[in-house]
Structures are given as structure tokens and as C-alpha cells.
Chains A and B, each alone.
Chain A
Amino acid sequence: MLGLLFSSASLHAQQGRGYTGPLPNNPPPTSPVTGDAAKGKSLFFNYSCYACHGYNGETGARIFVGNWGHLSTEQEFITFLRGRATIAPEPKSTGMPNFAENTMSDKQAKDIYAYIRSFKSNAPPLKDIPTLNAIVDAASKPSK
């Protein structure tokens, strides 16, 4: 979900080259949340959201933790979900699907929103990841 917002990162990830820019680090929205995050968790899985956004919103083709594009408010999120109905199904795409009201109710969308809003960055500071520091150190030396 929330795919098209992050086009440059998404395109690269889809092509298997990953996004090489710094991690997005915008603060999460502070708007009210009315849904049930526990229900949203199973919906996030059942509606295949994890397929593009990873299980934590931090990996995959469409990262949204720290980016938060159309997630400012519940209503903006729902409007975004409904807004893709006119997209023609050609060519094939890994872009954001449409979520019509008859397939995902506003209540379900709000539950998913509540679950997404519970996501927090799971990324440790670089200094706390010895593996990545070792990689940078190795890059600084002549290669074999």
C-alpha cells in the first residue's frame, strides 16, 4: 500500500538495486486514530499489504516508516485507497492497488491505519551495528 508516493525508491527496489539514499526520517503523523490496531494487523496481512511494504513498513519495494506520505490523517489514507479505481490494469504493475469500499470498508481501512501508525523505526544507529561498520572499514582499504 501507499506505493506511488515514493517513486524513486520504489523503482530502484523493484529493479533489484535497492534504494541508496538516506533513510527517510520524518516524524510520524499526530492526527487522531480511531481504528483497532489489533484488527488492522491481520488485515495488513490478509489484504497483502506486507507484499510491498514489508512486515514492518521499513523494507521492500515501498518503505513508508519515516516517510508517511498520504498517512497524515485517516481520511487522507482512505481517500488514497479509493483513488486508484480508474487505473487501467495495463501494463502489469507492482504499484498501489485500488481498495474499493465494497472490498475494504472504511472501518477496516481505519483499523489498518491504526496498525500502520503503530509502526516505529526499527533501525538502530549505525554506530550500533558492527557489521555495517566493518563493511565501511573494508571499503576504506584496498580491495582484494
Chain B
Amino acid sequence: MKKSQKPSVNRRNFFKSAAGAAALAGATPAAKAQQTNAQQTQAQNGRNTGATPAPTPEQLARDAGNVRPPATARAVTRPGSDLMVEAFRNLGLAYVAAQAGSTFEGIQESVINCPPTPNKMPEFITALHEESAVAMAHGYAKAEGKPMLALLHGTIGLQHASMAIYNAYYDRAPIVMIAGNDRGDIPSHTALDMAGMVRSFTKWDAQPKTLDEALAAIHRAYNEAVTPPQAPTLIVMDSELQKMNAPGFKLPPYKPPVFPTIDPSKAKEIAKALVDAQNPRIAVGRLRTPQGSMLSVQLAELVGASTSTTAANGPMSFPQRHPLQGPGADTNYDYVLGLEARGLQASIIGPDLPSIVAQRDPQGIGFGGLENANANGGRGRVPANSAPPTTADAEASLPMIIDEVKRLMTADKGRLVADRTAKHAAANQESHIKAVKLAVENMRGGWNGSPISTARVYAELWPLIMNEDWCLSSPTAFSGGHNVRIWDHNKPYSCLGGQGAGGMGYGAPASVGAALAAKDHGRIVVNIQCDGDLNYAPGVLWTAAHHKLPLLNIMHNNRAWHQEFMYVTFMAGVRGRGTDRAWIGSTLRDPYIDYTKMAAGYGMAGEGPVSDPTLLAAALKRGVDSVKRNEPYMIDVVTQPR
């Protein structure tokens, strides 16, 4: 990490004088001659007399319209921020989200005006809160498997964004952030070590002192963000670097990141075990990108392994309804490989957040106790008898294993694989149908109740989207998680999962980010939106409307922060003070909030409140039709508490 040094001259005065000198230095000979003549004439006519000088011939000619205005030359012909935008483009950073701020106007101007115009790469996405900007990038990263940019305004923007950064850090979401820094402006908006405020929950930061360093930092920030453990990175970018003239600068060569892989001998060992196994299984967790999901499918199909998946709870895993996904025909597995998950005989798990805590948290703040995080790197309970993980990126390691499996595969083994695959497929299909039947049987409970059951919301929506390309962008735990049981999560982005650190205010902005990822693919995004969560920064609805994003918002409007409502109810009861005041501070009543009107205020169409269950399906249909036209939509559904 590099830190800026205090400038040795007053930068504002420096730029003023530099601009004047540059203007003269860059002037054409004709302009110089004009200026010299005017100065001489003024000196002759007005010297120490105090009288108004007579007009010069040039002034007379100009008044008569007989001359052209003097040629001018701009002090800045190629701002440093144009080079930064070139770097963004080369890295494939498609979007930059920001709440307007005067410490990054150099970059903003370049994003919107750097040729060719109108500039769409990256496209500027207008946020109404820095937390929303980063949460958008969080949702985008999980849907697309790559970062987008967030611009933050000095110390104040960074602090506004900090909750979203914290969520993204815990969720291992790659985001590149740039915080503008203008040390000649408002003192409270700058700091000697601005990144220090978020250092213990970002992966890497820098404060470059020169444009060369700044451009290199952009490359490094991207690489650090996308390599495991994936996480947000931050550059504190001084405004002088954004605005300086840099006609002779070139982008430094970009070196793509190196992902840690298992060594070739380990790849051979795993491949041989998979090929020789009678009943192999692959446990697939969350891989880095859609490519990882595809590679896991390829490996499973090559060896006819049954698989498990996390696709119903988060992105980038194995397709849930793939014929090989499920317990399979025989649950006596003789070799279990874990990919970003624990396996019984082998586990490949990338470096996780605890591996960077010592470097990033020297003060020992210890957010979330990450330094003591469990051995599974935040991936849940470690299965009994599981193999110690090999620390490597599973996605980057898969091609080696696949190549080796192909080399070892024989015709005889191929026939065994085909036979095993067919048996697994039949068993998994049977198992799935049985599970769905059980789920829908349970969903009958409260089907006709009002307020509307959360199960009915998920059930009525599923037939409307099952033949579309869809993404469920919101966390679902507070609305019953009924998607897990009846929806098919077959794409790397089908379900984007939870908030990361459990910070509220995530659902709506992350969904906008997911919709950014979706809009160029003809995909629709469904956000089952908790009411308490939306009220943190509802202005993000305007962002969805402004940018015409395919986002369907369905309110889980139970008019409470319901988990807390239940906790307080329990507490009041066991303390013997009565539960009749437990609603205070944890419910949203008197008055109820009208989310359709809220959305309308931000320019988003919608309807509701819907509390009659017989009206729900038609409302959802109108919503799906709307977002298919890239017109975001809000349906305020008054729901049962859970």
C-alpha cells in the first residue's frame, strides 16, 4: 500500500499558474501576435493617464465583425482520467455506479465524455446513495462473476458505503472501488489514510502518488478483487491525478491474475480416483464464475458422478436440475471430491478471508471474529471425516483434472459411466418429483389466507417465470425460502443468496446490480423484497426506473422487522412484562407504508397493496410482462409474517 505525501506546493495555485503558462505555451503564433499587439497598443494609449484608451484597430475590426476570435488552446488535452477510463475498458468493467461527488468529477467527466461518445463502456449508473452504489456492484458481481466499479466521494462517501462494503467482503464479492480525494477542497472530506476506515474489511487498497502508479493500481485492484479470496478493493484517487494533462502517457501493460491451482500430481491423483471409482460423487460449492459452473458439469458428466449443489442458496454452483444432481441411484459413494466444498477423499478450496486478516487487520479489530473463522472458511459446517482441503482455486484447477480424466478414460469405462449416469438420472428425477410433491402439499396451508402466505407468492410466481431466463436476486430466508423447494436453479445466477454479513438494506440495490447484469441478456430479475430492508435506501428504485432495468420487485410486506419482533416478544414474555407492547420499535404500522406510491414517486410502475390471494397471480403476470419490456415494476403484497 502506498500513501500520499503532503504536496510541497499549493496545488490550486499551481494549477492556476500552470494553466496560464500552458495556455500561452500552447497558443498558436497568430494568437501570440494578437496578444502582443494588444498589449503594446494598450501600453501606448493608456499609459499612466487614467484616460480610457482608444479602441485598437483589432477591436474596431472585431466590432465590425471582420475578424475571427483568437484561437485558443486547452491546458488539458488528455486528462489523466481518460487514461483511467481506458484502463476500465480494457479490463471489461462495464458499469460504474456512483452517487455524484465532487472528488471524482474528473473520472465522471471522462466516463461520460471520453471518446467515442456517447460512452457506454463503462456506462455511468446513477445511484442515490453510496451504499446503494456498492451494493449494486455486489449484486452485479454475484450475477455476472466479475466486478464493476463504484465511485465514492471522499471520506463521507466511503463511510456511507461502508456497510455495503462489509456485506460484500463477507460474501467474497469482487468489487473495484475508487474514492476521490481532493485535499485542496473541504478538509473534512479528506484524510491522510482514507482507506484505513475500511481496511479491515477490504482486500487491498492503494493511494497512488503519480498517474503511472494510479494506472497500475487500477490493474492491481482488479486482479486482487477477482482472485480468491474475492473481495472489494479500493483506490484512493487524488483529484490532481484525474485532472492532470497526460498527453504522453501510455497505459502500462496489463498482466492477468494468476489463480492458485493444485499441482499436476494432485490433479492426476484426483482424476485417477474419479475414473476408477465405482460410485464417485462431487460436492460443488460456490465457484468463481459461470465458467466454473460449466467446468464442474463437464467433469461430472465425464465420470458419471452424482453431485450436490448450493445453487438454490447462492450463485456459481452446479445446476440444480441437472440429471446428475441429487443423491443418485446409490448413496454408498466410494470417492467424494469437494469443489469449493468439503469432500470425503479430496477437497479443493480457495484461499478464504481468514488468510488475509493478518495483513488487513493489523490493529486487531477482528470484525466478525474472522481470524477465528471455522476451518471451512465460512462455508458452513465441516462434514465429519472430510478431507483436509487443498488450498487452491477449484475453478482454475478443473481444466487440469478434466484433461487428465479424458486421458484416462477408456471405452469400457465410458460404458460404465453411461450406465451409471442413466441410473443416477432416473433416481434423481424420482427424488425430485417426490420432494416437489411434498413441498406443494405443505404449501396448501394458508393458501387462501389473507394476508397472503409467502408460500403462495413463490408458488404463483414460478409458473410465470419457469420458461424465462430469470435471476432471483434477493435473499429469501425472511420470506420463507420457498424457492429452494419448488424452483429450478439451473443457471450460475439463478439464486444470488444472502447479504454476506447480514446487513439490511442490501436486497433492492443488489437486485439493481443483478438487473444491470441481466439487461443485455434478455434476462429478468426477481426481487422478493422485505419491507424493512427497502426502507434503508429506497432511492435505488429510481435508479432502476432511470436505467430501464428488467427488475420485478415483489414486496414481502409483513409490516415489521419480523425477526426482531419475535425476539422482543419472547424477551418481554420471559421477563414477565407482557407481550402487548412488543410491537413498539419493531413494526411498521400507524401508518402503513404504501410501497406502490413509494415506487411511483421514483418513477416506477406498480400496483398494490395486494392482500386478496385471488388477485395475486394476475398482478404477478402484469409484473413479469412489464419487466420483459425493460420496465421495472413494483407489486406491494401484504403478506403473512413468515
Contacts and interface: CB of A to CB of B under 8 A. Distances in A.
Contact of A15 (B477, B485, B490, B572): B477
B438 interface: yes
B580 A60 contact: no
Given A51-B562, A51-B565, A59 B321 contact: no
Contacts of A48: 565, 569, 579-580, 582-583
Given A18-B481, A93-B567, A102-B576, A124 B435 contact: no
Given A52-B641, A60-B641, A132-B440, A123 B445 contact: yes
A143 B565 contact: no
Interface string A91-131: 01111111110111000000000000000011111100101
B567 A92 contact: yes
B469 to A, nearest CB: 9
B573 A84 contact: yes
Chain B residues touching A, range: 35 or more
Interface string A41-73: 000001110111011101111010100000000
Interface string A15-57: 1111111110000000000000000000000111011101110
B440 to A, nearest CB: 4
B482 to A, nearest CB: 6
Nearest to A15: B477
Nearest to A87: B574
A22 B434 CA distance: 12
A21 B442 contact: yes
Given A22-B441, A103-B577, A54 B449 contact: yes
Contact of B445 (A46, A63, A89): A63
Contacts of B574: 84-85, 87-89, 97-98
A8 interface: no
A124 B442 contact: no
Interface string B437-451: 111111111111111
Contact of A50 (B450, B453, B575, B641): B641
Contact of B570 (A16, A56, A97, A136): A97
B444 A143 contact: no
Contacts of A87: 574
A132 to B, nearest CB: 4
B462 A18 contact: no
A23 to B, nearest CB: 5
Interface in B475-493: 476-482, 484-486, 488, 490
B477 A132 contact: no
B488 A54 contact: no
Given A47-B579, A52-B641, A143-B321, A58 B449 contact: yes
Contacts of A61: 566, 641-642
A122 B436 contact: no
B460 interface: yes
B482 A18 contact: yes
Interface in B283-326: 320-321
Nearest to A57: B446
Given A59-B640, A97-B570, A16 B437 contact: no
Nearest to A98: B573
Interface in B551-589: 560, 562-563, 565-567, 569-580, 582-583
Contacts of A85: 574, 576
Nearest to B468: A144
A20 B449 contact: no
24 contacts: A16-B476, A23-B444, A47-B580, A51-B641, A54-B453, A54-B642, A55-B449, A55-B450, A56-B640, A61-B566, A63-B445, A85-B574, A85-B576, A88-B574, A94-B570, A98-B573, A98-B576, A103-B580, A122-B445, A123-B446, A131-B463, A140-B433, A143-B320, A143-B490
Interface of B: 320-321, 432-433, 435-451, 453-455, 459-460, 462-463, 466-467, 476-482, 484-486, 488, 490, 560, 562-563, 565-567, 569-580, 582-583, 617, 640-642
**Which 8 A-B pairs rank lowest in CB-CB distance, beginning with the nearest?**
A97-B573, A16-B477, A103-B578, A143-B321, A16-B481, A58-B446, A123-B444, A59-B446
